[in-house]
Structures are given as structure tokens and as C-alpha cells.
Amino acid sequence: MSLFGLKFGKKKLKEEERQLQANNRDFNLQFEYANNSIKTSKYNFFTFLPLNLFEQFQRIANAYFLFLLILQLIPQISSLAWFTTVVPLVLVLAVSGVKDAIDDFNRHKSDKHVNNRPVQVLINGMLKEQKWMNVQVGDIIKLENNNFVTADLLLLSSSEPHSLTYIETAELDGETNLKVKQALTVTAELGEDLQKLTEFNGEVRCEAPNNKLDKFTGTLTLRGEKYALDNEKMLLRGCTIRNTEWCFGLVIYAGPDTKLMQNSGKTTFKRTSIDRLMNVLVLVIFALLALMCLILAIGNGIWEHDKGYYFQVYLPWAEGVNSASYSGFLMFWSYVIILNTVVPISLYVSVEIIRLGNSFYIDWDRKMYYPLNDTPAQARTTTLNEELGQIKYIFSDKTGTLTQNIMCFNKCSINGKSYGDVYDMSGQRIEINENTEKVDFSYNPLADPKFAFYDHSLVEAVKLNDVPTHRFFRLLSLCHTVMPEEKKEGNLVYQAQSPDEGALVTAARNFGFVFRARTPETITVVEMGETKIYKLLAILDFNNVRKRMSVIVRSPEGDLTLYCKGADTILYELLHPSCNSLKEETTEHLNEFAGEGLRTLVVAYKSLEEDYFQDWIRRHHEASTALEGREDKLSELYEEIEKDLMLLGATAIEDKLQDGVPQTIETLAKANIKIWVLTGDKQETAMNIGYSCNLLNDDMADVFIIEGSTSDDVLNELRNARKKMKPDSFLDSDEINIEFQKSSKKQIIVPDEQANGVYGLVITGHSLAYALEGNLELELVRTACMCKVVICCRVTPLQKAQVVELVKKYKKAVTLAIGDGANDVSMIKTAHIGVGISGQEGMQAVLSSDFSFAQFRYLQRLLLVHGRWSYIRMCKFLKYFFYKNFAFTLVHFWYGFFSGFSAQDVDDRWSMLFPQLYVPGQQNLYFNKVVFVKCMLQGIYSSLILFFIPYGAMYNTMRSDGKAIADYQSFALMAQTCLLIVVSVQIGLDTSYWTVVNQFFIWGSLSVYFAITFTMYSDGMYLIFTASFPFIGTARNTLSQPNVWLAIFLSIALCVLPVVGFRFLKAQLKPTPSDKVLLKIKEAKKRPPPPSPKRRLRRTSTRRSGYAFSHQHGFGALIMSGRNMRPKSPFATTGTFSPNSDKYKHKGL
């Protein structure tokens, strides 16, 4: 049963296999499968108070103050009223509770929004609109174009030919290219016939819920026949239906059992390293408090035994106290209450207020506001601000986080000439910006209005009928697997299985070679206004080994041509020797494109002889129908025909980065922050982005590729990489190896190791799965952490979280994860700090994050300015607070022996210019155990001064009129005046920026203190509250004496001068990074620096392939089969519409 949201009763057995029947809820309910409701919140109405209080009392200080409150309720030992503790304690608990309630309320709202989405469910032969949360395993649901997939579904049928369904999986794996799923033939026949779908009673047996996004195994039993099920027939929750009018699916996994939720990770309670340190320090302070109370209690017992008897008339023992030892015991607890200020509850109130203030600074920062979509930065939690100043590792998603998810045809090289750059009248290349004149494509009625190009010389070459240029764009319009869609006449939309192909075909379209339509046997292209139909004879499909694709077409004139595009490293081996000189020129352009981080492809062609081709196509048919070795035979035939190609040129596509990404990464690297990119994208694509955003560069000593297919291969590759970076790390004398041998059982912390150069590491998801195993994870951490940059590609959402967890486990470092999609949620939850980018992939990442903003570039300001300032503010506060409290509390301690034992920093601009200022936070230099001990020693020293100087000044002292002032009230007044002035001066020394607010509170506090003091000891207060204020005139009598003020001044000098002297000498002899920067600022103000030149991405002549092509194997065969074709509208058929007609012909062409 369920009570208050908690489950009781029989424990659910672990599911080993899933069995379900379509349209049979009664059968499926017996297995108690989860429904489609999701829950990311922590509390409900009934569990909030007990669970939240339980969490809050895990904080040692809160438990301590609860214990203190209990003590204060005992009259024999209470020396302070109970409400002095209960009011602040309730305030602290209430503030934290309200904050947690608001956070959880937002999670409830998000859950409710998702769970209440509508979906059409087949119930009793009719489609009824249901909420997502009411969908159950075994239901059949209908989805339409652009719908989110409700649950993990078995695709039954769709509107497309052969029941194909196109989906976008950006939220699962970060890839924006479309993927194709296909239903079983036996279920495709169901179509959208509701009667047939209702009668469908297939039984599915499949694997238990798991987090493997790329695998699914199961069987469908229908009318006694068994059919195999795999991942190609599954639609996963988190995907979006595209270019498919409708489809029907059978729910296999729902809610928390879906692969998306299985990868989302758990919400953890995050605490800062300062919080954890404060817990340790509070325990130390408790021990000191107990020691002080014990000393005073023993002193009280001895004093009461030896002398207290004689003072019974004035100081009678409390009721029930009949011995000196019992008096000492009670006095121990009284001093626990009196000295509780050594760990006052105001510490935690103040810490929460400071954190809240720091959060407001982030929310209000206009420099982190993104006006294009009206998105300000948001601190979604107030408890982690200072942790932002200690980040050592950043784990970033690629798609949508570093990039904009937009591909642009940027440059090209045709017949040895480079196009794409813009030059001024003097021949100097100029920077392209929003004011640069774009090429006018208005002469082409079928041009894409969103396409932008700036080099007018390429259009001129097209208009002048330059043969290589025409052949280049003809190749781009023919050699692809793009599907055209034309819902209105002339309004072409390309459905590209790869975003690169979409960009290339769009470029050809704008330059006058418009891919218009295709059938399994033909491709229709409008070339410079003239419609031409090419016969498509073969598609030599792309795969990760070939790294190229080719088409063989017959032109309307009867010419046979093979067009090929692919990686330069592959195609260069297939070129005809006559292309050598052109190859050298093209290579120079490729190097330049790659140096700018562009994705490159080389394009080539070959004219074929009729006789040879007929023989080749016959052999191709035989190979494609072979029962054994089909792939190998086809590969040999492809190799045979793709020889002696004629080079045409190269394309360069920009995978558009978000603004400021390279500069942000460069700045963060200077702050000694290591950046790891974790992406679901392909290796080539991920590496290409690595180069374009300055993560990888050609100056690196090496970039290691880890792609082993077995555990041993991965181990060897990791060790070979480590051996190259640091050969000494394999010696028995290596400090880390010695430490590992000692610490066989306890948790190992891997210290930072320095490599002998700058290295990068790229590891694939398949290899990462082996590297994350127990015996290899330590090797992965050692090798990867020596590298400046690590890129993990083809990783699942859960692997992202595992990588973050691995670094948290073995490195004493603070981690930050940043992403924008649902596939990033697990790593955002796992890292110490999670940052969500409100981008194109929904709001799941933002809802799970601790901080959010709209652009990656704001991360440097979040860390280098807000993070650093929050950390420094917190550390300064804690140092001052502990100093002040030790000074204040220990005055009481010293008094016990005489009373019979009765109880500047730099601004934000300089922080960004000097990222090295961030390093002290990573090393936790501003507040740690050593700093705490220094504060404690300073507090002890100050307490000695603040007690004994006033004591000495008051001892046997007479006023100027001959009257004595050595009463304990005068002494207390003098000591507290010294204390308040000293701590006020100390806070002044710790203040970096003096503002009206600072001045008001520091000097205002002193003014209020003196006003209250003189009021308390006034004649009027005595007359009104005689019993409470019996010490008339103590303030005016004491503070009117010159020797008292001399003693106060002496106390201040002795407390403050050592601090000032120490800081001065330290700044001169051992300056901190801040001291060095402040010196540079002073020099810069005397002589302003010249304006820094605009930075451009460095171009390099080092040979490096810029190849990157996100394409799926097998799409060519699908096109040739015609299974994904549907009848076209009349105006999309060949020959019915031509821009060459009088209506559309351009006069200047």
C-alpha cells in the first residue's frame, strides 16, 4: 500500500523479462508495470515537514542548537532565556524549508505539465484523448507530426510508405539529423484502421527496462507466428515525430521504465565543500567548547569547595545543589549555554543571507542577460554559489551548448580557386559581419531566402557558365540522400538525413542547381532554370569505413557519370594522377578551412564507359543478392569503380558555434579549468568542433584516439598514451604508484600529474564502456586527467553521468556540468554544479539545473566573476566571523577565572582579463583548516588583549575625583567597548570596496552601540525599570575617564597593528595573485594600455583533415528501394514547372 507517498508491503521483485499483450489492460495489470506518470519531486504535502526537518537536522549545527534549546529548558542550568535560541533556530529552519518547498513546488509544476500532456489512446475501438500519466503498458496510441513520443513504443504502422517513420532524437543523443524507423510488415498492414488496431492482440516478450538507448531485443507473437523485434522498430520517449502525418505505436515501457528516465539519474542533495568543511570545524569547535566548559566546571567545583562556602550569604547554591562537585557538573552545562556564541546560530543565518545576496547578484547581472529570447541568468539554488569559485573540471555537451545546431555552407574550393572570403579594393581580406553585403539570389525564384553567402565572385562564375563550377554544383545537387518536400508550388523543403547534406544541397539550390524531386530511379534537377531528369542507376552508400558516398547517374544527354564526395584522406588515394597539381592547390585550401574549424568534404567525378558499366552493374546485382559475404563483395565492387576520379574541389561547412565559445574556452583554460566534452555525436564531428572552438589545436603534442573494441585493447591504448605523456608514471618509484599499493582498500584520491607537453584525448562510447569498468577506471582517470582536453563521443546520457562520477570519485576537485537537453540531465544532477542552457532542445536541462542562462559564453562570467566573488565573500566572512567569535567568547572564558567561575579585491573587468585570479579558489586557499587555525589563534590573542588590558587598566583604579571605578559593570562596559571597536576596525580592514552601505552599517553600528549603552545606564531607565537597570551612570562615569580611552586605544592598537603589519609584509614578500593584479592595475591606470586588436581564429598550415559528416549507413539502399517514396503533388512532378519559363526567367542570366 501507499501511505504519504511511501511504499510499504511486499517488495517488488526485480524484473527479468517483460511480457505484455496489446489492448489487454487486465492481463498487463497483473505484472504491476509502472504507468506513464513521472515524478522528479522529493516531497508531497504529508512528507514535506518530516523529511525536510530530517534533512536539515543532518547539519550538525542545527542538531547542536536543538540540544542547546533542550538545555535551556532546564531551570537549574539555564542562564539564558529559551527564546534566545528557539527564535533564530525556527527562523533558520523556516527560511531553508520555504526555499526547499519553492524548489520542490517548481518540480511538481514541471511534472504536472509533462504528465498532463494530451495523447490519443485507442480505447474500445475509439481514439480518446488521455493524459500522458494515464497511459499504460499495452495501450495503442496515435502520434502525429511534431508530437513528442509519449512512452517507449513499438511502431505498428504509419502514414509513410512501408510504415516508415522519421524521428528526431536530439533530446536523447544530441543528434539533430533525422533517423528512420520501420514497422514490421505484419503490423504495417493495420494502417489507421481502428477496427483492425482494436482487434490486434499481439503478445510481446522483451528485455526488462534498461538504459541502453541503442539496443532492444524482443519478439512479437501474432496468430501463432513469432517476429523478431529490434531497436529499429522502437520509438523512444524523448524523440519527436518528423515528416510523418501519423503513426500508431504499442506502449512497451512507460514512465520511469522508459530509456529516457532510466538515463536521467537521481536527484541528489548537493552541498558545498565549505559546508562540509564547516561541519568538520563545528565538531572541532564543539571539542574546544567542551574543553573550556570542563576547565571552568572543574574550576567552579574547586572554588566552591575551597571558598564558596564563605559566600553562601551572597551567592547561595541553587535549589537541590548540595555539593561542590554537583555545582561543578551543573556549571558545565551552564557554560555550554553561555559560551554557545563560539558557534552561534547567527553564523548559519548570515551564511544563508550572503548566499541569497550572491544569488540576486547573478539574477540581476545584465551582462548575462540574452535579449534575443528575453532570458536572464537565473540562480535556481541559493546554496551552491561559493562552489562556483572552485571549479576544476567542466563537462560540456556539444550540440546546442557549444554549437547552435545550425549548418552553413561557408566556403568552397573549385578547380583550384577558393571562394567564400571577401576582399576590399586593395585586395585585403575583410572580416565578415552583419554589415557585409550578401549575395543577391533574387534572380533564382527557387532560392532559399535564409541562405547567406558573401563572395560575389562565385555567383559570377556560375552566371558565366564556368564548366568546373557548374559541374561542382551539379554534383552537390545529385550526390546525396536528401528527400524534397513541396507542399506549395515553389516552396521547397529538404528533409536531410544529415544536416551537412542539407547545407550542401541548399547551397547548390541557391547557386542555380535546384534539386527538385526524386523517385527510386530518377533525380530531377532544375539547372539554371532548365529542368533535367537524371536516371539514378546506383547509390554507393556511405559508411564509417568508406567515409564517402557516390552516385552513378545517366544525364538526359546519355552520359554516364559517377559523382563522389567524402573525406580528403580517403578520396585523395582514389584520384587520377593527372590531378596532382590541382590536389596541391586544393590541399592548401583544405588546410585553411580546417584551421578555421570548418567541416570539409572533397568532391570528385568520373565519366564511365557504357560497356564497363553494364558489366559492373551485373556484378553489383549478383553481389547485392549474395547470401554470404554480401558486404565484402559490394565493398570490393565499390573500390573497383571509385578509382581514377577527377578532382573537382572541396566544400567547407560551418557547424555554427554559439557566440564567444572559443574565447570563453580560452579564458577558462587560463584559469586552469579543464574542459571535457561529452557528446552523443560522431567522432569526426566532435573532433571538428574541438578544433573550431579552440579546445584542440595543431600545436598539441598529440591527440590520442581511444577506440579499442575489447577491454584489453582499451587498456593498452590508455597505457600507451600515459607512457608518452609521462614515462616515469610506470616506475615503481612513482609516488602515485606507491600510494596505490598502500591504499588497496581505502578510497584513492589521484593527485594532479603533469604531462611532458600539451595533449588531448578522444574516446568513443564503445571504448568508454570498457574504460568505466572497475579494473580500468583508474587508468582512464590517470590518463585523461593528464590531458588538457578530453572529448567523449557517441556516449549515452548515463555514460555522461558515469564520467562525471568517476572524476568526483578519484579527484579532489569541484566539477561542473553544462548542457541544454534531456540527454544532459543525468550529468547535470551528478556534478557538484549543474548548469542548464535554455536552448533549442527544451527545458529539461534547465529544470534539473542549479544555474541557468541562454549562452555558453556567460559561463566565464558566472565562474570568474560571480563564482570568484561569492567564494571570496564567503571566505572573508567566515574568517572574520570565527575571529570575532573567538575574541568575544574567550573574554567570557578569561573572566571566569576572576569571577568564581559563575557561569579589496579587483572588479569584474579585471577578473575576466586575468583568469589566473580564479586558481586560489580551485586550491581552496582562502578558507581551509589552516586558515581556520590562524583565525582561532588570532581570536585567542585578541581575547587576551581585550580582557587583560581593560583588567589591568581597571585594577585598583581611581577616578579623577578620587572615587573607585573598579566594579565589574565598569569593567564589562570597557571590555565590550574595546571588543566592538576592534572588530569594527577589523571588518574595515577586510572590506575591499567602501560604499555608502558599508559606511552606514559599520559606523552606524558603533553609533547605535553607544546610544544604547548610555540609554541603558541612564537615570530614566532606572526610574522606569528599577530592577532591570540598577547601574545608574556607569557609562558616563567610565567613558569620561582619559585612562579608560587610553586603554581602549592601546587594546585596539595591540589587536590591529600585528594584522596590518603581517598583511603589508606578505603583500611585499609573498604576494597573492590578487596583489600582483592590483599592482598591474595601478600601473595600467598610470599608463592606459593600447586597445587590444580583434582576435581571429588562427589559421594553420599543418596538415589535418577537417572531415566531418554525420550520416547514417543504409539510407542509400532505402532510397533505391523506393520504400520511403510517396506520390508527389502534381506541381512537384518533372517538367511541369520551370524557372526558365518567361514568368521566372531572369534577364541578366
Report yes or no: 799 and 792 within 8 Å, Cβ to Cβ: yes
Closest by CA to 654, choosing from 454, 495, 874, is 454
Following DSSP, what letter does each residue of 312-349 receive, concatenated? Answer: TTTSPPPTT--SHHHHHHHHHHHHHHHGGGGS-THHHH
Closest by CA to 769, choosing from 709, 720, 687, 838, is 709
**Res 278: pLDDT:** 78
Q: Where are the alpha helices (DSSP H) in 30-116?
A: 48-56, 60-72, 83-115
E-strand stretches of 567-720: 599-607, 646-657, 674-678, 702-706
Q: Which long-range contacts (CB under 8 A, 24 or more apart) does 2-6 make?
A: 4/44, 4/46, 4/47, 5/43, 5/44, 5/46, 5/47, 6/47
- Rounded CA separation 842/851 (Å): 16
Report yes or no: 845 and 837 within 8 Å, Cβ to Cβ: yes
Closest by CA to 912, choosing from 667, 744, 1078, is 667
Is 170 strand, coil or helix?
Answer: helix
Burial state string for 716-755 with b = 16 or more CB within 10 A and e = fewer than 16: ebbeebbebbbeebeeeeeeeeeeeeeeeeeebebeebeb
- Rounded CA separation 921/832 (Å): 15
Following DSSP, what letter does each residue of 615-634 receive, concatenated? Answer: HHHHHHHHHHT-SSSHHHHH
Report yes or no: 836 and 852 within 8 Å, Cβ to Cβ: yes
| Inter-CA distances, 49 with 4, 95, 101, 271, 326, Å | 12, 13, 10, 20, 40
Closest by CA to 163, choosing from 140, 151, 181, 145, is 181
**Res 1149: pLDDT:** 32
Is 892 strand, coil or helix?
Answer: helix
**Residue holding cell 502520434?**
143
CA angle 168, 174, 179 (to 5 degrees): 30
- Rounded CA separation 898/915 (Å): 53
Report yes or no: 542 and 570 within 8 Å, Cβ to Cβ: no
**Res 1095: pLDDT:** 44
**Res 10: pLDDT:** 43
- Rounded CA separation 327/964 (Å): 33
Closest by CA to 358, choosing from 747, 22, 894, 862, is 862
Following DSSP, what letter does each residue of 1033-1072 receive, concatenated? Answer: THHHHHTT-HHHHHHHHHHHHHHHHHHHHHHHHHHHHS--
**Residue holding cell 593527485?**
751
Q: Nearest 5°: phi and psi at 315?
A: -125, 70
Report yes or no: 818 and 396 within 8 Å, Cβ to Cβ: yes
pLDDT beneath 50: ranges in the chain: 1-11, 898-904, 1092-1102, 1128-1149
The total of other beta-carbon atoms located within 10 Å of residue 258's CB is 26
> How far apart, in Å, do the first and last CA atoms of the chain sit?
79
Q: Judge residue 938's burial from the number of C-beta atoms within 10 Å of its C-beta, 0-12 exposed, 13-18 middle, 19 or more buried.
A: buried
Report yes or no: 251 and 151 within 8 Å, Cβ to Cβ: yes
**Res 11: pLDDT:** 47
CA angle 872, 873, 878 (to 5 degrees): 100
Helices 929-954 and 968-990 meet at what angle, rounded to 10?
A: 140
pLDDT digits (tens, 9 = 90+) for 674-689: 999 998 777 887 888 8
Cell numbers representing residue 743 in the block: 591504499
- Rounded CA separation 1063/1058 (Å): 9
Any residues with CB less than 8 A from the CB of 519 and at least 6 apart, and which? 1122, 1125
Q: Judge residue 940's burial from the number of C-beta atoms within 10 Å of its C-beta, 0-12 exposed, 13-18 middle, 19 or more buried.
A: middle
Cell numbers representing residue 193 in the block: 484502421
**Res 341: pLDDT:** 64
The total of other beta-carbon atoms located within 10 Å of residue 133's CB is 19
**Residue holding cell 552601540?**
1009
Closest by CA to 235, choosing from 152, 157, 310, is 152
DSSP assignment letter at 886: H
Any residues with CB less than 8 A from the CB of 912 and at least 6 apart, and which? 667, 860, 861, 864, 865
* Marked catalytic residue, from 100, 104, 365, 397: 397
pLDDT digits (tens, 9 = 90+) for 307-336: 655 555 555 555 555 666 666 677 777 767
- Rounded CA separation 513/529 (Å): 8
**Res 375: pLDDT:** 86
User: How many Å is the Cα radius of gyration of the chain?
Assistant: 38
Closest by CA to 467, choosing from 649, 728, 328, is 649
Please confirm, yes or no, whether 713 is among the known catalytic residues: no
Report yes or no: 1115 and 539 within 8 Å, Cβ to Cβ: no
Closest by CA to 172, choosing from 399, 13, 366, 417, is 399
**Res 1036: pLDDT:** 64
| Inter-CA distances, 396 with 286, 567, 789, 791, 918, Å | 42, 27, 11, 9, 19
Helices 777-786 and 711-725 meet at what angle, rounded to 10?
A: 30
- Rounded CA separation 895/947 (Å): 8
